[in-house]
Structure 1
Amino acid sequence: MLLEALNIKKMYGDRVIIDIDKIQIHDNERIGIVGKNGAGKTTLLNILTKNIKPDEGIVRNLGSIAYITQMDEGIENTKSGGEKTILKIREAFSKRAQLLFADEPTSNLDTNKISWVENEFKKYKGAIVLISHDRGLLDNLCTKIWDVEEGKLQEYRGNYSSYIHQKEERLECQKHKYEQYINEKIRLEESIKDRKERASKIKKAPSRMGNSESRLHKYKKSIKQTKLQNASKSIESRLEKLTKVEKPKEYKNVKFDILESNKIHSKIIIDTTVYSETIVRTILARLLFNGHDINKKVEILSGGERVKVAFAKIFLSDINMLVIDEPTNYLDIESIEALEDLLIDYEGTVLFVSHDRNFVKKVADKVIIIENEELKDKDKINKGIVSFAEEKEEILKLEFKISETISRLSMPSPKEDIEKLDREYKYLLNRLNEIRNKIK
């Protein structure tokens, strides 16, 4: 075991950010952390790496640690976002730590660099715990998913796709239990009503009864009423317990604008838009700001939440064209999907730069690729960027296999089949040339 955390709790003001009983990380695990913006994912990493102290609980690090942070502290501003990310990754890899933490390691990277990061992570000799909105990376790399929600951590075995399937099953099970609770609640309420009606109908003793008969009648009546009252209390007690059952939650499968930190974010938008408060709240709701989230001050918003507020301001501006640079950076997966739907419904023109393959596939109807200082126009998304990105990824894999095969041919072991290796080398080389010619 490389790390253990017990009974960790972290609060900001009166809001509980993290409240987790137990975490363990073992050798060579590949763990992806998912959750809504503001759920506490980065806070959790900072606690586990001891960059911040929990209000309660202990963290035991039993192995060496490296941490690829989300922000760019200490890196010169002349470098691009992608160059800064690569520098941080190379520096972390050079430490050869037993446990590597990474917060959005593919942010600002192009498709080729994302593939490079994915391959390097796969080869890493140690455990990895990462936060990422890249669904492809979580699918191809992770063997376990941590879902952070309302301060709690739910663990799922398998990759991201497996997590989605398991979570849907768990939520369906919760829904079924909730429906059972509703049916039981209705049955008990009707039962209480029926028993009270029966109790009220118990007749008084007839006037011509003797004293002994009257006492007997009252005694029997008392027994009946006591039984009915006890039964009603029992049912009401069960009903009270049932009412405490929570309804299961539904699961939904830029340059930063200047935001004054001491103001409520929805008020900032209302003060700067020509649209009504109702429309402002509707846009914020579509970006997953609901309930008390609407009245949060900017200073307590997470990085992803600030991005969404900036988007809301842009959507509600008096413009008909959006130009966005890497819109999915710092957003959780659910927020990315909400942004996808919002951009698809947007009536104006959208020009965006993104290396999120799933996002591009869903939102764009025309794709321009820049390569070797030239523009390549791909009119149809499914035959354009997706196939192009997949082919570029395959080129990287083929080049790696060719290099490995050449190494084996130059220094063959006694057990190596040289002819087979030679045939494999020629096949890989031909395949590589085919793909390169195809995307020219």
Structure 2
Amino acid sequence: MVLIHLQDIQFDVKDRTLFTIDNLSIHQGNRIGLVGRNGSGKTSLLHLLAKEAAPSAGTVITHSSVSLLPQLKPKTAAKSGGEISQAVIDEALSRETDVLLADEPTTHLDTGNVEKLEQQLRQRREAMIIVSHDRAFLDALCTQIWEIEDGSVHVYPGNYTDYEQQKEKARNHREKEYEKYLKTKKHLEEAIRQKEQKAHKAVKKPKNTSKSEAKITGAKPYFAKKQKKLNQDVKSIQTRLEQLEEVEKIKELPPVKMQVVQEESLQNRTIIRGEKVRGYAGSRLLWEEFDFSIAGGDKVALIGRNGSGKTTFLRRILDEAEGIHVAPPVSIGYFSQMLEVLDVQRSILDNVRSTSSQEQTLIRTVLGRLGFFQDDVFKPVAVLSGGERVKAALAKLFVSDVNVLLLDEPTNYLDINALEALESLFTGYSGTVLFVSHDRRFLENTTTRIFAIDNKSIHTFEGSYQAYLHAEPDQEHEPLEDELLKVETNISDVLSRLSMKPSAELDEEFQRLLRQKKELKKQLEEKVKHEY
């Protein structure tokens, strides 16, 4: 059953056509994921379907009730972004409707509430169109993907992973078509070259032709005819070459390798450590005392429910609060949703260059990765959308003269293309990153360590997010083994500090830890012998 039908649609914004749709329908039971770059028209299409906006041309025929869950949530001082989002979602889902339109419903939700929303939506009967940058969310719910690209809406069956595979297959096909085009073009150009050479030679009498033979065969007319025939062949091949349908080469993104200040002196060494760090929000305890260390090059994800203290943890490090020790060569860049790093009166390029000693080529490459091409970089920040400002702020931080990035929810308001670009920047960044994100696919693709805040405690996990999800619950450890692990961690920490700033006190501490390690190993060996 057709619930909404779109016919000959054109949607304009000012003097620009945002998208066109020839013929498209939403049927009962459809679960559609709507994707596209920031500014491509996803929210506008939802407003069109909800009859909150009118097309510039064409017809929207609706045979159903429609409910829109908007992207922009109401702001109140008393509640967090996650709490506000959850309240709006609960209110929207309390209404019965035939078509649910959800615009970035997972924004500000923690992972637990995203998974809860997945379960709620799975159990509902209405057709859905969901705009989301959360690829795992789209995978869990969608049976069809609509992509707005180059002003048109393209339909792909399956979930987001199926869509990715279809796009990759199309890309591979286009690459083969490009190779075929180049091969054919080269063959025709070579054929023209050879024919032209033969035509040039055809006017000359062969050296082994005698005067009597030439008189009998009529050499000049013969070679003139031959030249004419060859010239005709050249024109024929040139026509084929001109009619050859050109296939454009797919643009390959250049690899991004950023030079990080003090990179060699920090790599794989403890650069930030915390001793008995406790978190509070006013008088409310967020987490109990916690010891930790972060090494140069770590990509640490800080996860936990909304209100658990993730932002507070980042701010404690940024402020070098009590119990936090930061190595002297460390320089920190901080990203928050307030985007304080941007001067809205200056251009994107000026903002990014103002704190960077990187080469212009690298700066433009990073900006290009995040969707700012050619003259886009000269736009003043004041005219950018929220998502574009986030990308500009991230570009500025990644190329700035810092070596540690603290990123508080950098994935909010980014489209999927920008998320994948940010993942690529993580890969090419040799500095250290501690970041907060609820995007599960992003966590899977970027994380090397996990700090998880749960039940007023912070637990650390060495490994990827996938490994963390599938890890067995902690078994009871041998106390001596736990103590030995702690001592070995302290030895690594002291060694790192000795290499940065030697002192007699640190050297004495190092020797004491070595003796302690030796004694603990001896005790463990004796215990094993006794047990056997």
TM-score normalised by structure 1 residue count: 0.75
Q: What are the residue-to-residue correspondences of 1:380-419 with 2, within 5 Å?
A: 380-382=463-465, 385-387=468-470
List alignment gaps of at least 5 residues for structure 2: 206-210, 255-335, 474-532
Cα distance in 2 between the residues matched to 1:242 and 1:14: 35
Partner in structure 1 of residue 162 of structure 2: 162
Alignment CA distance shift 1:379-1:188 (3 Å): closer
Cα distance in 1 between the residues matched to 2:230 and 2:378: 49
Partner in structure 2 of residue 49 of structure 1: 50
1:134 aligns with 2:217: no
1:352 aligns with 2:435: yes
1:171/1:251 contact within 8 Å kept = no
Partner in structure 1 of residue 238 of structure 2: 236
- How many residues are paired up? 385
Cα distance in 2 between the residues matched to 1:310 and 1:233: 56
Identity across the alignment (%): 40
Offset at 1:178? 1.2
1:294 aligns with 2:377: yes
Q: What are the residue-to-residue correspondences of 1:212-361 with 2, within 5 Å?
A: 228-229=230-231, 231-242=233-244, 244-249=246-251, 254-257=336-339, 259=342, 264-271=347-354, 273-298=356-381, 301-361=384-444
1:3 aligns with 2:4: yes
Partner in structure 2 of residue 25 of structure 1: 26
Of 293-302 and 357-366, deviating more is: 293-302
Cα distance in 1 between the residues matched to 2:113 and 2:352: 36
Cα distance in 2 between the residues matched to 1:13 and 1:199: 59
1:378/1:384 contact within 8 Å kept = no
User: What secondary structure sits across from 2:67 in the alignment?
Assistant: strand
Cα distance in 2 between the residues matched to 1:7 and 1:52: 16
Cα distance in 2 between the residues matched to 1:274 and 1:178: 38
Q: What are the residue-to-residue correspondences of 1:128-207 with 2, within 5 Å?
A: 128-203=128-203
2:71/2:103 contact within 8 Å kept = yes
Cα distance in 1 between the residues matched to 2:52 and 2:108: 24
Alignment CA distance shift 1:261-1:49 (3 Å): farther
Which residue type is aligned with residue 387 of structure 2?
G
How far does the alpha carbon of each residue in 1:294-327 deviate from its partner, in whole angstroms, 9 at most, with x for none? Answer: 3445466443322110112223444443332221
Which residue type is aligned with residue 46 of structure 2?
L
Which residue type is aligned with residue 27 of structure 1?
Q
Offset at 1:142? 0.8
How far does the alpha carbon of each residue in 1:65-100 deviate from its partner, in whole angstroms, 9 at most, with x for none? Answer: 11122212x453432111222222223223322111
Offset at 1:349? 3.7
Offset at 1:389? 12
Cα distance in 2 between the residues matched to 1:381 and 1:51: 43
Alignment CA distance shift 1:29-1:19 (3 Å): same
Partner in structure 2 of residue 394 of structure 1: none
Which residue type is aligned with residue 167 of structure 1?
K
How far does the alpha carbon of each residue in 1:415-437 deviate from its partner, in whole angstroms, 9 at most, with x for none? Answer: xxxxxxxxxxxxxxxxxxxxxxx
1:63/1:98 contact within 8 Å kept = yes
Offset at 1:243? 5.6
2:447/2:465 contact within 8 Å kept = no
Q: What are the residue-to-residue correspondences of 1:352-371 with 2, within 5 Å?
A: 352-371=435-454
Offset at 1:236? 2.6
User: What secondary structure sits across from 2:37 in the alignment?
Assistant: coil
Partner in structure 2 of residue 418 of structure 1: none
2:337/2:409 contact within 8 Å kept = no
Partner in structure 1 of residue 262 of structure 2: none
Offset at 1:105? 1.1
List alignment gaps of at least 5 residues for structure 1: 391-440
Point out the structure with max Rg over C-alpha: 2
1:70 aligns with 2:71: yes
Alignment CA distance shift 1:85-1:189 (3 Å): same
How far does the alpha carbon of each residue in 1:197-234 deviate from its partner, in whole angstroms, 9 at most, with x for none? Answer: 334444499x99xxxx99x986x888766655554444
TM-score normalised by structure 2 residue count: 0.63
Equivalent residue in structure 2 for 1:373, among 439, 456, 461: 456
Cα distance in 1 between the residues matched to 2:46 and 2:77: 25
Of 110-119 and 373-382, deviating more is: 373-382
Alignment CA distance shift 1:174-1:347 (3 Å): closer
Alignment CA distance shift 1:240-1:94 (3 Å): farther
1:111/1:355 contact within 8 Å kept = yes
Alignment CA distance shift 1:228-1:68 (3 Å): farther
